[in-house]
Amino acid sequence: MQNNAPIGIFDSGVGGTSIWREIHQLLPLEHTIYLADSKNAPYGEKTKDEIVKLSIKNTEKLISLGAKVIIVACNTATTNAIKHLRANYTLPIIAIEPAIKPAALNTKTKAVGILATQGTLNSELFTQTSELYARDIDIIEVFGKGLVPEIEAGRQDGKEVERLLKLYLKPMLDKNIDYLVLGCSHYPYLVPKLKELLPKTVTIIDSGLAVARQTKAVLEHYNLSAISPQPAPIFYTNSDNLEPLRQIVITDEKLYSIHYLDF
């Protein structure tokens, strides 16, 4: 596989661009292709079979576009479909999951909040990770119902998001959490609002940088790192409305290539 082939990234919508940002910053030579499956968002309220089928569809589309590795930039897709993807495709597949381990290892209050989708919280992989690293920790799991559609619509700073966050944070703060783990790749776009609502004693953790570092390690292991600067990132969405994706990927006043794609 050519070193200059693209890194393929998919998510249930625009949220995985938070992962793309970390990858693009750490690996600026790499060409990236991003699939926003906004037509089927949110994944977190679908059945496992539905999530697996959507993950297969996205994976095969990225393979058809020439991806050398694939990043599942969706916690729900990772926790429900990663075993199937790795068992059925030969190229490296990198996954994202809630950063429970660092929160559990560093908490002083022995109370950690997890804000995630229902699909992630109900998954076998999430349960296994929690049992492995957080046996003696009070884990307060909260389903962030309604947050993904608001972010998909570009309303992450809106009044409805603030109302929902206050509702979801209350049981965590009542248990005196000092770490909040964001278990959905959409949620890093809520960090400014979360910082307004949380005491300064609470540390917010997401998985973006860890995924970028793992991507770099995988590329080096398989000798797949780009050897020269590549084309600008390409973003595809199957939503008729390109504006939320267009707004969210503007970086340093540079607008990357954004297109509608029926997948």
Task: Cite the active site residues.
Answer: 74, 184
Helix (H, G, I), strand (E, B) or coil at 235: strand
Cα angle 10, 233, 117; round to 5: 25
DSSP states along 157-169? TSHHHHHHHHHHH
Cα dist. 153→165, 234, 246 in Å? 17, 20, 12
CA-atom Rg of the chain in angstroms = 18
Contact 38, 194 (CB under 8 A): no
For residue 145, the Cα-to-chain-centroid distance in whole angstroms is 16
The gap between the terminal CA atoms of the chain, to the nearest Å, is 24
DSSP 239: S
Place of tokens 């699939």: 35
Cα angle 161, 165, 170; round to 5: 160
Residue 209 to residue 219: CA distance in whole angstroms: 15
Helix (H) or strand (E) segment spanning residue 59: helix 48-64
Cα angle 241, 215, 181; round to 5: 70
